[in-house]
């Protein structure tokens, strides 16, 4: 899979691309990430990227010329703009993007992006959540990491991406490892019992209980709403 990223801050991605699963995916050749510096398409001596909004109002708007220059050669890719006005990203969104060979993540900045960019160059707008960040870079980094771990061969044990939270509309159960007792804080007895039937029953109850308490919306929306 190839991911293009259009950003004013390519240096932002140095950290996220260089560690853990994403670094491994790139090293193994499962993932190619190409950073495109929007500033290279900036206008004039100052490489201007933004201007004040028509009709007045606070803040600056990203101009169409630099965006068009960066996006025109990427027309064959699936182009996603990160903005708080986009559809919230979910596991389903990442599953879908991971099936596409060539995607482009566009990081918005300032108060917004000229609507003509969105109307003519963008296939989909996505948000990291209902809060405003300074730009789309964090969302793009999150999407790259979320997608990278879905690519074949990137995560050692494919079961760990199949069984995890959100696939079955339930949160994960609590997990424990050695020691069985730390300063009097004991691991639930059932997990030491060796009785796999009881363990599975306990895990499934904890998943349901947690989801009811923390994310009842998942139970209402999910296919498992009758459980």
Q: Check residue 83 for interaction with ligand ADE (CB under 6 A).
A: yes
Structure-derived torsion over alpha carbons of residues 164, 166, 168, 173, reported in degrees to the nearest 10: 50
Q: Check residue 82 for interaction with ligand ADE (CB under 6 A).
A: yes
Q: Check residue 190 for interaction with ligand ADE (CB under 6 A).
A: no
Q: Are 39 and 8 in contact (CB under 8 A)?
A: yes
Window 103 to 122, contacts with ligand ADE (CB under 6 A): 108
CB of residue 66 vs ligand ADE: minimum separation in angstroms?
18
Q: Check residue 135 for interaction with ligand ADE (CB under 6 A).
A: yes
3-state DSSP assignment of residue 56: coil
Q: How far apart are CA 47 and CA 184, in angstroms?
A: 62
- Of 128, 141, 169, 218, the residue at the interface with ligand ADE (CB under 6 A) is 128
Q: How far apart are CA 186 and CA 77, in angstroms?
A: 52
Q: Check residue 97 for interaction with ligand ADE (CB under 6 A).
A: no
Window 3 to 22, contacts with ligand ADE (CB under 6 A): none
- Of 131, 159, 183, 226, the residue at the interface with ligand ADE (CB under 6 A) is 131
Q: Are 40 and 190 in contact (CB under 8 A)?
A: no
Q: How far apart are CA 128 and CA 108, in angstroms?
A: 12
Q: Check residue 84 for interaction with ligand ADE (CB under 6 A).
A: yes
Residues in the chain: 227
Number of Cβ within a 10 Å radius of residue 48: 14
Q: Check residue 133 for interaction with ligand ADE (CB under 6 A).
A: yes
In the numeric block, the tokens 């986009």 are attached to: 86
- Of 59, 73, 129, 188, the residue at the interface with ligand ADE (CB under 6 A) is 129
- Of 16, 25, 136, 146, the residue at the interface with ligand ADE (CB under 6 A) is 136
CB of residue 24 vs ligand ADE: minimum separation in angstroms?
25
Rg (CA), the chain: 22
Residues that bind ligand ADE (CB under 6 A): 82-84, 108, 127-129, 131-133, 135-136, 139
């Amino acid at each position: 899979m190839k991911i293009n990223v259009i950003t004013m801050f390519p240096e932002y991605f140095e950290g996220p691309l260089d560690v853990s699963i994403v670094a491994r995916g790139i090293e193994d050749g499962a993932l190619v990430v190409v950073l495109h510096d929007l500033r290279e398409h900036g206008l004039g001596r100052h490489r201007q990227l933004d201007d004040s909004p028509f009709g007045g109002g606070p803040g600056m708007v990203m101009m169409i010329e630099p965006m068009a220059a960066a996006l025109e050669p990427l027309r064959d890719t699936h182009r996603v703009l990160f903005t708080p006005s986009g559809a919230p990203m979910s596991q389903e969104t990442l599953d879908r993007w991971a099936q596409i060979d060539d995607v482009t993540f566009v990081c918005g900045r300032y108060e917004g992006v000229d609507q003509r960019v969105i109307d003519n160059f963008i296939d989909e707008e996505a948000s990291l959540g209902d809060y405003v960040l300074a730009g789309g870079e964090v969302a793009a980094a999150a999407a790259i990491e979320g997608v990278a771990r879905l690519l074949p061969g990137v995560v050692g044990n494919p079961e760990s991406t199949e069984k995890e939270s959100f696939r079955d509309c339930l949160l994960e159960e609590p997990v424990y490892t050695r020691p069985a007792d730390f300063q009097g804080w004991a691991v639930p007895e059932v997990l030491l019992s060796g009785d796999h039937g009881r363990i599975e029953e306990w895990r499934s109850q904890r998943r349901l209980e947690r989801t009811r308490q923390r994310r009842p919306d998942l139970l209402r929306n999910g296919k498992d709403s009758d459980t």
